[in-house]
């Protein structure tokens, strides 16, 4: 066999996940949102070590939970949670709720991505058309502007508490006020990535018992975001920024997408400073836009 025949075939270059200003190309993480990344904090609690979970207090750690009398069983439960069935997507749309989506006609582009990530309880097109607060009820137009798909929804535990399958509403007494003996039958779509700002043994929706009911059953389609990811956002993006105690849910959604997506595309983000635009597209009324909070990024 000639030397030319014995050579290995040339490898195709890896797709570029991120290119910096010097032209250096960084490949996408192979494990996406599952397990430990090559650099930075894991996306979900089950990928974090006990030390990482316990070294800080909320919102960047689970300090109160770690100091509780039954901390060992609680931490074992959290670190034993399942990863999602799919951990990596080639392309993701992260969709905010800015009024600049009205008339944008971005819906088809949003829906063309492998995953569509929405924030808190912001609705998709069909949901908006059914909303009493929406400026119009024409479903095809809403789908044309904001899309019809939702793969993931990133929300706080407070927002989760409004859903019908929140354990307090789903489970029968003594664990809740519902009628179900267990959490079987909860919706599987969309997937939920949940931020718990105040985890602890006796701390409302984020107490250990409630976390177990929400995340630690075999049919759960909800995943608990690692508090260390919030700390990573604060360190990387908000150094020197005053008055930003906790990263917004929108920033957490972007950070999660950066972990699990080969390319991240943002739609419907804004600081609300444009007087002609409503703050939220789904509650834009004749009275005009709502006041907003400016968002600052440390991009230096």
Axis-axis angle for helices 71-79, 208-215 (nearest 10):
20
Domain annotation covers residue 105: no
What is the total count of domains within the chain?
1
Domain annotation covers residue 226: yes
Domain annotation covers residue 121: no
Per-residue pLDDT of the chain (300 residues; tens, 9 = 90+): 444 444 444 444 455 555 556 776 655 555 688 988 888 999 999 999 999 999 998 889 999 889 988 899 999 999 999 999 999 999 999 999 999 999 999 999 999 999 999 999 999 999 999 998 888 999 999 999 999 999 999 999 989 988 999 888 999 999 889 999 999 999 999 999 999 876 554 557 788 888 998 999 999 999 999 999 999 988 888 777 777 678 899 999 999 999 999 999 999 997 665 656 778 898 876 544 443 333 333 332
Domain annotation covers residue 32: no
Nearest to 54 by CA among 43, 65, 70, 45: 65
Domain annotation covers residue 61: yes
Domain annotation covers residue 86: no
Domain annotation covers residue 223: yes
Domain hosting residue 172, numbered range: 40-81+151-266
pTM across the whole model: 0.82
Domain annotation covers residue 70: yes
């Amino acid at each position: 066999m000639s030397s030319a025949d014995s050579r290995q075939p040339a490898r195709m270059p890896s797709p570029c996940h991120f290119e910096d200003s010097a032209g250096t190309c960084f490949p996408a993480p192979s494990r996406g949102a599952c397990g430990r990344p090559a650099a930075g904090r894991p996306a979900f609690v089950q990928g974090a070590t006990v030390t990482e979970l316990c070294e800080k207090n909320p919102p960047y750690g689970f300090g109160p939970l770690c100091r509780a009398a039954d901390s060992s069983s609680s931490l074992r439960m959290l670190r034993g949670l399942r990863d999602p069935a799919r951990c990596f997507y080639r392309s993701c749309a992260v969709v905010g709720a800015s009024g600049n989506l009205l008339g944008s006609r971005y819906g088809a582009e949003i829906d063309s991505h492998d995953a569509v990530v929405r924030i808190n309880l912001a609705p998709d097109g069909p949901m908006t058309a059914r909303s009493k607060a929406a400026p119009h009820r024409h479903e095809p137009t809403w789908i044309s502007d904001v899309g019809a798909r939702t793969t993931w929804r990133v929300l706080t535990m407070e927002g989760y508490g409004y859903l019908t399958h929140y354990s307090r509403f789903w489970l029968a007494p003594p664990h809740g006020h519902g009628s179900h003996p267990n959490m079987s039958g909860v919706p599987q779509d969309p997937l939920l990535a949940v931020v718990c700002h105040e985890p602890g043994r006796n701390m409302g929706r984020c107490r250990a018992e409630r976390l177990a009911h929400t995340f630690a059953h075999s049919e759960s389609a909800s995943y608990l975001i690692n508090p260390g990811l919030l700390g990573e956002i604060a360190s990387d993006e908000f150094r020197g920024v005053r008055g930003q105690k906790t990263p917004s849910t929108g920033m957490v959604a972007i950070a999660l997408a950066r972990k699990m997506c080969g390319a991240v595309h943002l739609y419907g983000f804004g600081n609300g400073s444009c007087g002609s635009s409503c703050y939220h597209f789904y509650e834009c009324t004749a009275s005009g836009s709502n006041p907003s909070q400016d968002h600052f990024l440390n991009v230096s």
